[in-house]
């Protein structure tokens, strides 16, 4: 984990923009990013928030979990509107969201380890 803001030209970016790079081991099937490497995967994010790079990375990764949750919602029916009636589609969306909440609560209360957070990078 490191900040590389001083090594990158951010002249066209808003003042205070920072670039933070993270390196993690390249596991089988992982997509390489930023730099070609056989051992590590590198990825970065921009921020304008104050704080040290590690704290900002933890915050950004927590947001990535939210994005994964939204992707699961979309895959389970959130992006489908199967009815031509607004009220029926509204009920459909409620059922999708309630189902996702029930699954997540079940995971939190009854499961441990990999089952708790499927398909999430650590």
Whole-number CA gyration radius for the chain? 19
Q: Find the mean pLDDT for residues 53-66.
A: 83
State the Cα–Cα distance between residues 45 and 63, nearest whole angstrom. 12
List the chain domain ranges.
1-50, 52-122
Q: Which of 7, 12, 8, 17 has its CA nearest to residue 56?
A: 17
Q: Encode the chain in three state secondary structure.
A: CEECHHHCCCCCCCCCCEEEEEEEECCCCCCCCCCCCCCEEEEEEEECCCCCHHHHHHHHHHHHHHHHHHHHHHHHHHCCCCCCCHHHHHHHHHHHHHHHHHHHHHHHHHCCHHHCCCCCCC
CB 18 within 8 A of CB 48: yes
What integer pLDDT is reported at residue 39 of this predicted model? Answer: 77
The more confident residue out of 54 and 114 is 54
Instruction: Please tell me the pTM assigned to this model.
Output: 0.52
What integer pLDDT is reported at residue 71 of this predicted model? Answer: 84
The answer to which of 31-35, 41-45, 88-92, 109-113 has the lowest mean pLDDT is 31-35
């Amino acid at each position: 984990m490191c900040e590389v803001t001083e090594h990158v030209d951010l002249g066209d970016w808003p003042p205070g923009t920072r670039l933070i790079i993270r390196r993690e081991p390249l596991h089988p099937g992982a997509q390489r990013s930023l730099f070609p490497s056989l051992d590590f995967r590198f990825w970065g994010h921009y921020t304008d928030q104050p704080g040290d790079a590690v704290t900002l990375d933890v915050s950004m990764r927590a947001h990535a979990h939210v994005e994964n949750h939204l992707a699961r919602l979309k895959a389970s029916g959130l992006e489908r509107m199967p009815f031509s009636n607004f009220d029926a589609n509204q009920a459909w969306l409620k059922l999708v969201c309630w189902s996702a909440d029930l699954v997540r609560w079940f995971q939190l209360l009854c499961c441990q380890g990999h089952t708790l957070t499927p398909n999430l990078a650590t």
